[in-house]
Homo-oligomer: A and B are copies of this chain.
Amino acid sequence: MTQTLTDNDALLIDGVALGSRLIMGTGGAPSLEGLEAALVASGTELTTVAMRRYAVHGEGNTAGANLFDLLVQNRIRVLPNTAGCFTAREALMTAELGREALETDWVKLEVIADEHTLLPDAVELVEATESLVNRGFKVFAYTNDDPVLALRLEQLGAAVVMPLGAPIGTGLGILNPHNIELIVSRASVPIILDAGIGTASDAALAMELGCDGVLLASAVTRAQDPVRMATAFRHAVIGGRLAAQAGRIPMRTHALASSAMEGRADF
C-alpha cells in the first residue's frame, strides 16, 4: 500500500530522481561498518562527505577509498560538502577539489561564520553561491532560516536551498517553523531541512511544513543505536511527507466528537 502511494513521489534534483527524501550525512560515525549499516537502514540514496577530511589523506587515502566503495556498492550517490570553510574563497577551492576527486558537479555549500555557533555566514554564502553557479556547480546551499536569504539563494541559481532547523548538532529540532513554512511557500527549488534534527518527530514536522527532504547526520550517527534511529527517520520522513499531502484536519479551539451522537449514517 505504502509502496503504491510513494512510488511516484521521487525527489527530483538536477534531473536525478531520489527515491528517498531522507538524506543522511556521514559525519560523526564512529566506524565504517556502523556507518554502512545506518546508511542502508536509512534508505538514503544520497550522502554528504566532507572534502576537507577526505583531502587530508591525499592519494593513498585508504579509509576514504573504502567509504566510496561502500557507497558505490549500496548505490548511494555522493554529495561533497565544504564543511570547515569560513570564506567564499575557501569554499570555492574545496568545491573544485570535490568536483575533481568525485566527478560530480553537485556540492553542498557550507560557509561557516565561526567555530562556536557553526552558523552560516549570509554574506559569504551569497558570494560563494554566485561564484559556484557561474562555474557550473549544482549548489545545495546550506543557510540559516532567513526567508529573504533563502529566496536570494534560489535567485542566484542554487539548485537546492537547505535551511537549518537549529544550530548543527544541537538536536533542538525546528526552532522557527514559521520561517520554514515561509521559505517553502515562496520556493521553486527543493527545500531540504538541514541541521538541528534530533528525533523522528522533528523530521516528520519538517516534511509537514512542506520541506522536500531532510538532511541529518549526527542525529543518527551519535544515537545510542544508529541503525534503529536511521530506520526511525526513514519512517518519519515518509510519514511526514504523506501527512503533508493528505490534507490534515484543521486545528480547532473547541472539541468535536468523532462519534457524533446523531445526524450521521450509522454502520
Contact = CB atoms under 8 A, between A and B. Distances in A.
A75 interface: no
B147 A122 contact: no
A8 interface: no
A235 B242 contact: yes
Interface string A33-61: 00100001100000000101110110001
A98 interface: no
Given A204-B204, A222-B249, A236-B235, A257 B148 contact: no
Nearest to A196: B255
A248 B267 contact: no
Contacts of A151: 113
Nearest to A225: B246
A238 B234 CA distance: 10
Given A41-B1, A64-B266, A251 B200 contact: no
Interface of A: 1-2, 5, 25-32, 35, 40-41, 50, 52-54, 56-57, 61, 63-64, 66-67, 81, 83-84, 113-114, 116-123, 126, 144, 146-149, 151-152, 166-172, 175-176, 178-179, 182, 198-205, 207-208, 217-219, 221-229, 231-236, 238-243, 245-261, 264-267
Q: Which 4 residue pairs of A and B lie closest in terms of their CB atoms, listed nearest first?
A: A224-B247, A169-B256, A27-B258, A235-B239
